[in-house]
């Protein structure tokens, strides 16, 4: 099956990640040259990597010698500096992605609104008064999903109809009860806390499509 074409922003993201990898490799190569006594190649590392990039990709890349000096001393690249300003840490991002996948596997997909609520809750707990009252920006979830589009996909929510209702069978029923058992055991949910759970519908007859 042919996949969806990447958006322009996704293409730029992929390109930036590739270029960042090359710059980090150049910094490491320059750092190696500095460790060599009387090295005569440290001044050409930037040009060498730009040339190799041109050969491999057919495109141009800018790798400044000053960037190599700065990086070799422990300084950060622009991409690393931008990542440091991200609201979520790398570990928190992984937790959010895992949670999105877990909800999806259980059939309760998160909307943009619900995802934003969860992220805001994490950040308010971590940052306290330093986190804005309004939470992350309006387009934050869109950018997050696009950035991790290899792991997260977006779908239009469809209401439960008769065709899907007829799809219920012994296998789906068993999967549901196995899931209930797994969750109640994992989180030590008391039986009395689940009273009426099988009587409450989670998909309304009408509602906003999102």
The pLDDT score that the predictor gives to residue 54 is 92
pTM above 0.85?
no
pLDDT for position 169 = 77
**CA atoms of 37 and 159, how far apart (whole Å):** 69
DSSP secondary structure string for all residues of 19-81? HHHHHHHHHHHHHHHHTSTT-SSGGGHHHHHHHHHHHHHSS-----HHHHHHHHTTPPPHHHH
Please report the pLDDT score of residue 204 as a whole number: 46
Q: How far apart are CA 85 and CA 127, in angstroms?
A: 13
Residues of the chain short of pLDDT 50, as ranges, are: 1-2, 200-207
pLDDT tens-digit readout, 97-140: 999 988 887 777 888 899 999 999 999 998 898 888 889 988 88
pLDDT of 117: 92
HSE of 134 in the Cβ direction (CA atoms, 13 Å)? 5
Give CA separation, 65 vs 26, 30, 35, 130, in Å.
Answer: 10, 9, 17, 37
pLDDT of amino acid 37: 81
Cα–Cα distance, 113 to 92 (Å, whole number): 18
């Amino acid at each position: 099956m042919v996949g969806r074409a990447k958006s322009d922003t996704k293409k730029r993201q992929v390109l930036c990640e590739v270029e960042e990898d090359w710059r980090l490799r150049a910094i490491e190569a320059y750092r190696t040259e500095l460790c060599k006594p009387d090295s005569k190649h440290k001044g050409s590392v930037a040009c060498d990597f730009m040339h190799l990039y041109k050969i491999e990709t057919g495109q141009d890349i800018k790798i400044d010698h000053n960037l190599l000096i700065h990086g070799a001393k422990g300084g950060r690249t622009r991409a690393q500096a931008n990542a440091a300003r991200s609201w979520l840490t790398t570990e928190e991002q992984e937790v959010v992605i895992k949670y999105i996948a877990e909800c999806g596997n259980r059939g309760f997909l998160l909307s943009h609104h619900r995802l934003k609520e969860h992220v805001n809750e994490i950040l308010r707990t971590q940052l306290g008064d330093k986190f804005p009252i309004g939470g992350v920006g309006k387009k934050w979830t869109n950018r997050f999903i696009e950035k991790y589009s290899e792991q997260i996909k977006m779908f239009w929510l469809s209401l439960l109809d008769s065709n899907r209702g007829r799809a219920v069978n012994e296998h789906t029923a068993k999967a549901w009860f196995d899931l209930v058992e797994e969750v109640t055991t994992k989180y030590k949910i008391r039986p009395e806390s689940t009273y009426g759970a099988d009587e409450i519908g989670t998909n309304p007859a009408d509602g906003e499509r999102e």
